[in-house]
Amino acid sequence: MAFDLGVIGLGVMGANLARNFVDKGFSVAGFDVEAAKRERFLQAAASGRASAPPTMQAFVASLAAPRVVLAMVPAGAAVDAVIDSLRPLLEPGDIVVDGGNTRYGDTQARMLALEGTGLLYVGMGVSGGEEGALRGPALMPGGDERAWPRLKPLLQAVAARAGDGQPCCEWMGTGGAGHFVKMVHNGIEYADMQVIGEAYWLMRELLRMTPADIGRTFAQWNEGELESYLVAITADILSRIDPESGRPLVEVILDTAEQKGTGKWASQAALDFGLTAPTIAEAVFARTVSAAKEERVVAADVLKGPGGAFDGDPATLIEKIRRSLLAVKVCAYAQGFQLLQAGDREHVWNLPLAGIATIWRAGCIIRARLLEDIRSAYARDGELVNLMLDARFAATLAACQEDLRDVVGLAARHGVPAPAFMSALAYYDAYRSPQLPANLLQAQRDYFGSHLYQRVDRPGKFHTQWGLRSTS
Ligand SMILES: NC(=O)C1=CN([C@@H]2O[C@H](COP(=O)(O)OP(=O)(O)OC[C@H]3O[C@@H](n4cnc5c(N)ncnc54)[C@H](OP(=O)(O)O)[C@@H]3O)[C@@H](O)[C@H]2O)C=CC1
Ligand SMILES: O=C(CO)[C@H](O)[C@H](O)COP(=O)(O)O
C-alpha cells in the first residue's frame, strides 16, 4: 500500500494530526525515533490505514509519489535534522511541510536552502492544541505555492469547520507567510490569555471572589459577546478542585508562566516594523515578571503600595470588568491585524486578512465570536488601516472605554497589576490623539544630538542652537 502522506514526530500534535487524517479516510505513515511512540500511534489509530515503519527509509518508501511529509517536531534544530534526513530520500516534486511553531525567517531561509532541489517546502501554522489536532485544527499553510493543489484536499479535510461550513484552512502566501500568520495568532493568544488572567485577578483582589465564583462569571460571559475558547476553558479551569489538597486547582499552580517564543517573536516583529503592539508585548513581559518569582517575593517586603478590597457594588464592577475585557480584546486584535499588515507590506505576501479572520473562527486557540465581526470588517474594507476604525468596533470601544478607565483607575488605586488592561487603554488613547508630546521629545533629541526636527508651519528639517551644555 502506498500511503497518502507521512507524519514525522508522533508527539502531542503529530500523533493526533496523523490520527485525524486516518479518521478522514486517508492512509498515513507515521514516524518517530521512539518505538514506544510509533506503537502508541498505531494502537490509537486502530486502522489498516495507519502504519509506523521503524526507519526513515522505510517510512519514505511507503509514501505515494509525489510524497507529502508533515513534520511535527520542535522548532529549530529538530526541523533541520528532519530536512537533512529526508533530503537524500525524497525526489523532485515531493512536498515537505513544517507544521511546528517555527520562526518565519527560518522557514524563508530553509526555502532558500532547498532551492534547486525540486522539493516543495511549506511552513504551516497549526493551532488547536492536542484536541484540535485530533478533531479539527486551524491550519495556516504558506510557502511554495506549487504544493497547494496537492495539499489542499488533504488539509481542508482535517481542518476545523466554522459554523457556515467553511474549512479553517486557506493558503496564506509565499515564503514564511504561514508561520508569520501563526506567530501573530500566538501574539494575540498571549494578549488574550493575559487579559483574561487580569480580569480573574481583579475579581479576586478587588472583590475577594472565590475561583468557583469567578469561574461561574466567566461561564456567563461566555454566553455573550465574549464567547471564545479561552474564556470557556478559563471557566472550566476555575471550577476545578485539586484532589490532593481539596483547594481550587488554580490556587495550587505556581504563578510562574513559561513561554516557547512565539509571543516574543511577534513583539520583536512589531518593533522591527516600527509598529505599535503594546498589549501583545505587555503579555510577554507579564510572563517574564511572573517568572521572576523569587525577586517578587523579596520585593513584596520592600516596595510599598496600596491594597485592600473595593467597597462599591460588586455587580457593577463585574460588569465593568466584562466590558473592559471586550475593549482590551478589540485592541489586541487591532494590534495583531496591524502586525499582519506590516508583515505583508514588508514581504508582499498579499495576506488575505478577511480570510485569516475566517479561518480563526474555529479550531484555533483564539477562536471567538468576535472573529465573525472581524471577518466582516475586513471583508467590507480590505484596506482597513486599524480594526478600531471599523464603525462597529469604534462603537464597541466608545461604549466600553469609560468602563475600561474605571477599571484601570481602580487597579492603579488598589495596587493590582493589570498591564494588559492599562496598555490597551494607553494604546487607544494614543491612537485617538491628533497630538502627542513627541514635539518635546524631538526637541530633546535635537538639543543633545542635533537630530533635527520638523516644524508644524513649513516643510523641511530644522535645528536650534539650544545653547550647548554637554550632557554626555
Ligand atoms: N502542543 C501544542 O499545543 C502545539 C504545538 N505546536 C508545535 O508543534 C510542534 C510539535 O509540538 P508537540 O507535538 O507539542 O511536541 P512534542 O514534544 O510532544 O512532540 C515532538 C516530537 O518531535 C520529535 N522530535 C524531536 N526532535 C526530533 C528530531 N531531531 N528528529 C525527529 N523527531 C524529533 C519528538 O520525538 P522524541 O521525543 O522521540 O525525540 C516528538 O515525538 C512544535 O513546533 C510546537 O511548537 C503547534 C501548535 C500547538
Ligand atoms: O502554538 C500553540 C498554541 O497556539 C502552542 O501551544 C504554543 O506552545 C503556545 O505558546 P507558549 O508555549 O509560548 O505559551
What ipTM does this complex have?
0.98
- Length of the chain in terms of residues written: 472
**Is 25 one of the annotated binding-site residues?**
no
Edge to edge, the sheet with strand 50-51 lists: 50-51, 28-31, 5-8, 68-71, 95-98, 120-127, 138-143
Domains assigned to the chain: 5-175 (3.40.50.720), 182-431 (1.10.1040.10)
CA of 331 to the centre of ligand 2 (A): 21
- The DSSP element (H or E) to which 140 belongs, if any, is strand 138-143
Q: What is the pLDDT of residues 339-383, one digit of tens each?
A: 999 999 999 999 999 999 999 999 999 999 999 999 999 999 999
- The DSSP element (H or E) to which 142 belongs, if any, is strand 138-143
Tell me what the pLDDT averaged over the chain comes to: 97
Nine cell digits for residue 69:
511529509
Percent of the chain with pLDDT over 70: 99
Asked if the model's pLDDT at residue 469 lies above 80, the reply is no
Q: Which ligand is nearest to the CA of 85?
A: 1
Residue 367 falls in which region: left (phi positive, over 0), alpha (psi -120 to 50) or beta: beta
Q: Relative to the CA of 262, which ligand 2 atom is closest?
A: 13
Nine cell digits for residue 151:
495539499
Residue 173 phi, psi dihedral angles, 5° rounding: 145, -170
Checking 415-419 for CB contacts under 8 A at 24+ apart, the result is: 415/305, 415/306, 415/307, 416/201, 416/202, 416/205, 416/206, 417/198, 417/201, 417/286, 418/198, 418/201, 418/202, 419/194, 419/198, 419/282, 419/285, 419/286
CA of 126 to the centre of ligand 2 (A): 10
- The DSSP element (H or E) to which 212 belongs, if any, is helix 211-221
Q: Which ligand is nearest to the CA of 130?
A: 1
Sign of the Cα torsion 26, 32, 35, 40 reads: negative
Q: Is 375 strand, coil or helix?
A: helix
CA of 10 to the centre of ligand 1 (A): 7
Q: Whose CA is nearest to atom 26 of ligand 1?
A: 78
Residue 202 Cβ contacting ligand 2 at under 6 Å = no
**Is 453 one of the annotated binding-site residues?**
no
Q: What is the pLDDT of residues 139-167, one digit of tens each?
A: 999 999 999 999 999 999 999 999 999 99
CA of 123 to the centre of ligand 2 (A): 16
Q: Which ligand is nearest to the CA of 133?
A: 1
Q: Is the pTM of this model over 0.90?
A: yes
Residue 4 Cβ contacting ligand 2 at under 6 Å = no
**267, 286 Cβ separation under 8 angstroms:** no
CA of 278 to the centre of ligand 1 (A): 30
What's the gap between Cα 100 and its chain centre?
13
pLDDT band at residue 1 using 50, 70 and 90 as cut-offs: confident
pLDDT (0 to 100) of residue 470: 55
pLDDT (0 to 100) of residue 472: 54
Strand 120-127 to 138-143 pairing: antiparallel
CA of 173 to the centre of ligand 2 (A): 22
Q: What is the pLDDT of residues 250-259, one digit of tens each?
A: 999 999 999 9
Q: Which ligand is nearest to the CA of 139?
A: 1
Residue 102 Cβ contacting ligand 2 at under 6 Å = no
Which stretches of 50-119 are assigned E, i.e. beta strand?
A: 50-51, 68-71, 95-98
Q: What is the pLDDT of residues 45-54, one digit of tens each?
A: 999 999 999 9
Q: Relative to the CA of 186, which ligand 2 atom is closest?
A: 4
Per DSSP, 291 falls in state H
* Active-site annotation, residues: 182, 189
**Is 414 one of the annotated binding-site residues?**
no
Nine cell digits for residue 273:
516594523
The predicted model gives 412-417 an average pLDDT of 98
Q: Whose CA is nearest to atom 40 of ligand 1?
A: 11
**Is 101 one of the annotated binding-site residues?**
yes
How is the chain split among helix, strand and coil, in percent rounded to 5? 55, 10, 35
Count CA within 13 A, CB hemisphere, residue 436.
11
Residue 365 Cβ contacting ligand 2 at under 6 Å = yes
In this structure, the residues whose C-beta lies within 6 A of any atom of ligand 1 are 8-14, 32-34, 37, 72-75, 78, 81-82, 100-101, 126-127, 129, 260
- The DSSP element (H or E) to which 186 belongs, if any, is helix 177-207
pLDDT band at residue 111 using 50, 70 and 90 as cut-offs: very high
Nine cell digits for residue 200:
480573574
Q: Is 129 strand, coil or helix?
A: helix
Rounded CA separation 239/243 (Å) = 13
